[in-house]
Amino acid sequence: MTFEKVAKIIAEARDLDISEIKMDTSFEDMELDSLDVIEVVMAIEEAFGINIDTEGDLRTVEDLVKLVDNLK
């Protein structure tokens, strides 16, 4: 369930087509630079009420989903 929510947040935060966001999609695939990734991380933090401090290690949607599940 986390994946669906995360994908929706990414799509809304950066104006992307949600159908193109899969578990193994990387931020690079989505053409998101480091500043875009921070916007996504901030939106995720707000949506799940968590604090992410390892944003530098995030590469794919799956990384983000796992992190959210661990921190929830």
Partner 1 sequence: MNTIICSMLGIKYPIIQGGMAWVANASLAGSVSNAGGLGIIAAANAPVDFVREEIRKTREITNRPFGVNIMLMSPFVDDIARLVIEEKVKILTTGAGLPSKYMKDWIEAGIKVVPVVPSCGIAKKMERSGASAVIAEGGEAGGHIGELSTMALVPQVCDAVDIPVIAAGGIGDGRGLAAALMLGAAGVQMGTRFLVAKECTIHQTYKDKIVAAKDIDTMTTGKRLGHPVRALKTPFTRAFLKNENDCFKTLEELEAFGAGALRKAVMEGDERAGCFMAGQSCGLVKKEQTAKEIIEEVIDQAKITLGGVEKWVR
- Residues interacting with partner 1, by CB under 8 A? 33-35, 38-39, 41-42, 51-56
Phi first, then psi, for residue 27 (nearest 5°) are -60, -35
Among residues 24 and 53, whose Cβ is nearest to partner 1? Answer: 53
Which positions are catalytic? 33
Measure the CA–CA gap between 47 and 28, rounded to whole angstroms: 23
Measure the CA–CA gap between 50 and 32, rounded to whole angstroms: 22
Among residues 7 and 41, whose Cβ is nearest to partner 1? Answer: 41
Taking the complex as a whole, the smallest distance from the CB of residue 17 to partner 1 amounts, in Å, to: 22
